[in-house]
A and B are shown apart, each in its own frame.
Chain A
């Protein structure tokens, strides 16, 4: 039997992926300049989430597929001097979701976000549209560093297109 990976040539011949070839966009006019492109510096997204059901039987423990868990999306982003993103996210939660003395329905609470991944020559490799609403909290972290303010937003994916 020969080796599976035999030579350096086989590693060299692959065009390897690049971790920065992605894009995120919320289509929301209140984002002003960031309506066209969202200033995300990193994105984390479930591609699948499968839970297993474990059970014990004599001599061993077994596991079988059970069902899916919640899908979520996390975005780290930079903000501009007007705090455009912070104000947009606060308005989304405090006015659009909690605004009318009640909690908005799922349909009204969600916004569309598109996550795209590219090839190295910027052709679209895959493009997914998600309907999301924010989960958890948004913190502003002031510091004494020479840096741009960054925060993390976490979203629940309520649906896809």
Chain B
């Protein structure tokens, strides 16, 4: 058995740069039915979830003996995304337009084909030089919920729009 070392300062220095949670960006392709520039979403995005992979464990119990083995696997959809809103109401307009492609909000029925409102999205994690070092790819994305924030009497913070984007495919790896 190899010797187990307690990490020293030298070891930690040797690890290189640690990744920083605020260095990331979104490349969101507008769905085919939506004629808006989606670049503004990237500049207003303040947080982005990363989907969790999980395996539904199967438990086998024969009298007193319990054993576990991996069962069906899934990746948790939707992914939460939050945006700051600006006075031009870009995020409101973008999501209203997208939502209208999915559901006729006045009459309440699903309209259009999947091809019109489903889209792709890639979230890049960046290094300290702001170069992509990892990408999270989402396919078959559509808005599952859009929370347009809350108005109050004392908050000086920008209005935050909290969205949940459902997706059908997810993959992550080197860019």
Task: Please give the residue numbers on chain A whose beta carbons come within 8 Å of chain B beta carbons, in ascending order.
Answer: 5, 7-8, 10-12, 15-16, 18, 20
Chain B residues with CB under 8 Å of A5's CB are 62-63, 65
Whether B67 lies near A8 (C-beta < 8 A) is yes
Whether B65 lies near A16 (C-beta < 8 A) is no
Complex formed: what's the CA distance from A5 to B67 in Å?
14
Within 8 A of A (CB), among B34-85: 58, 60, 62-63, 65-67, 69, 71-72
User: 18 A-B contacts, Cβ less than 8 Å apart?
Assistant: A5-B63, A5-B65, A7-B65, A8-B65, A8-B66, A8-B67, A10-B65, A11-B60, A11-B62, A11-B66, A11-B67, A12-B67, A16-B58, A16-B60, A16-B67, A16-B69, A18-B71, A20-B72
Complex formed: what's the CA distance from A12 to B60 in Å?
9
Within 8 A of A (CB), among B109-127: none
Nearest CB to that of A10 among chain B residues?
B65
Whether B69 lies near A15 (C-beta < 8 A) is yes
How many positions in chain B have a CB within 8 Å of any CB in the partner chain? 10
- A contact patch SS: loop
Chain B residues with CB under 8 Å of A18's CB are 58, 71
Distance (whole angstroms) from the CB of A114 to the closest CB of chain B: 23
Distance (whole angstroms) from the CB of B172 to the closest CB of chain A: 23
Chain A residues with CB under 8 Å of B65's CB are 5, 7-8, 10-11
Distance (whole angstroms) from the CB of A116 to the closest CB of chain B: 18
Chain B residues with CB under 8 Å of A10's CB are 65
Chain A residues with CB under 8 Å of B62's CB are 5, 11
Complex formed: what's the CA distance from A11 to B68 in Å?
9
Nearest CB to that of A15 among chain B residues?
B69
Chain B residues with CB under 8 Å of A12's CB are 67
Chain A residues with CB under 8 Å of B67's CB are 8, 11-12, 16
Chain A residues with CB under 8 Å of B72's CB are 20
Nearest CB to that of B113 among chain A residues?
A81
